[in-house]
Chain A
Amino acid sequence: DVKVTQSSRYLVKRTGEKVFLECVQDMDHENMFWYRQDPGLGLRLIYFSYDVKMKEKGDIPEGYSVSREKKERFSLILESTSTNQTSMYLCASSFRTTNTGELFFGEGSRLTVL
């Protein structure tokens, strides 16, 4: 079974603190994605990566950065957290194919910024 593991299920941080959210997948997927989910807004894409060291902005990249140094690992970085970054963060991965590129999601990381 494909496994996408997110480093923390729940985090509480204070405004201005730095946060690393890590995501690891074990299926040699080329593509990896970071989304945030907020009530009424669905899943919104922050960043995605289609290969090591490659990254592309999603729909809401402001306030975030990412790192992909190894194929299996994709990190989301919040340099200086703000209260409006309180959210559920979901990582996903997929093969880079044109047909069966279904996404596999992690369980999510719920971040609260005080």
Chain B
Amino acid sequence: DAKTTQPPSMDCAEGRAANLPCNHSTISGNEYVYWYRQIHSQGPQYIIHGLKNNETNEMASLIITEDRKSSTLILPHATLRDTAVYYCIVRVGGYQKVTFGTGTKLQVIP
């Protein structure tokens, strides 16, 4: 699985959009981009994933650049409950191991 690079921390005002970047410049053509988040003292929770098209669900939007070397997770209206560590990973699934990095600690400020 390719490695990812994320900023260690970010702040976002409550009610504003939170845009979390992820660099995955060595991603392979068959690797998907996945985002998870971990609220303190809980196991990580799946948010969204995509291959090359932008994706949206009830939690967030995922924007993947055309060259697929980076992506952005968007939380459209951040709330205090969105304060968490966000992990971006890339994987092909199947028999492959799944490697996480250190993620981005998002602090939503009232």
Also in contact, A43 and B91, with CB within 8 A (given A90-B43, A104-B46): no
Interface residues in B27-59 by Cβ distance below 8 A to A read: 30, 32, 34, 36, 41-46, 49, 51
Interface residues in B82-110 by Cβ distance below 8 A to A read: 87, 91-95, 97-103
Contact B97 A42 (CB under 8 A): no
Q: What are some 6 contacts across the A-B interface (CB < 8 A)?
A: A4-B43, A35-B100, A98-B92, A103-B44, A105-B44, A107-B43
Total interface residues on A, CB under 8 Å, equals 30
Contact A101 B43 (CB under 8 A): no
Also in contact, A96 and B94, with CB within 8 A (given A102-B46, A104-B46, A107-B43): yes
Interface residues in A13-61 by Cβ distance below 8 A to B read: 33, 35, 40-45, 48, 50, 56, 58-59
Asked whether A84 is an interface residue with its Cβ less than 8 Å from the other chain, the reply is no
Q: A92 CA to B51 CA in the complex, in Å?
A: 22
